[in-house]
């Protein structure tokens, strides 16, 4: 229902305290739009990054990917077919593009700019019955 432009131009969504979110390398943030719109929140080298959680190749879980740094560029490698995505820009050596989102810190809290509500807990509509 949302184009990439619309997703990116959403509102700031409060995710939670940075002190808590920085304890894990990646958190899955559920989107109120459903599974395909879920977002990964990475914490790498003191910085937060947000990108679509489902790999733009075939939907692999990027939260479970390995992260490597080469020439100062942080990349996540999809666990399914090892495609790389730049955490900052979402670009890939494969020419695929992963949607990334702006992140900001304010008063110790992490915010992600997204078209839909984001939550660390699944929305009822996302839960499998």
Return the biggest CA–CA distance within the chain.
45
Indicate the helix (H) or strand (E) that contains 17.
strand 11-17
Q: Per-residue x/- mask for ligand FES, residues 41 to 60, rule CB under 6 A? A: --------------x-xxxx
Q: Is 63 in the site for ligand FES (CB under 6 A)?
A: no
Between strands 11-17 and 109-114, the pairing is antiparallel
Tell me how many residues contact ligand FES (CB under 6 A).
9
Q: Is 35 in the site for ligand FES (CB under 6 A)?
A: no
In angstroms, rounded to a whole number, what is the distance separating the alpha carbons of residues 107 and 73?
A: 28
Q: Is 78 in the site for ligand FES (CB under 6 A)?
A: yes
Residues contributing to the site for ligand FES (CB under 6 A) = 55, 57-60, 78, 80-81, 83
């Amino acid at each position: 229902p949302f184009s990439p432009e619309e997703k990116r131009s959403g509102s700031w969504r409060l995710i939670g305290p940075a002190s808590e979110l920085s304890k894990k390398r990646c958190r899955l943030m559920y989107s109120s739009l459903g599974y395909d719109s879920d977002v990964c929140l990475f914490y790498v080298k003191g910085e937060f990054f947000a990108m679509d959680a489902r790999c733009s190749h075939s939907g692999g879980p990027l939260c479970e990917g390995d992260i490597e740094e080469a020439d100062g560029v942080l990349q996540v490698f999809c666990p399914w077919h090892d495609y790389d995505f730049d955490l900052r820009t979402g670009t890939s050596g494969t020419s695929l593009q992963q949607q990334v989102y702006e992140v900001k810190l304010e008063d110790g809290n992490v915010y992600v700019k997204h078209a839909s509500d984001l939550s660390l807990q699944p929305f009822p509509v996302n839960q499998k019955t």
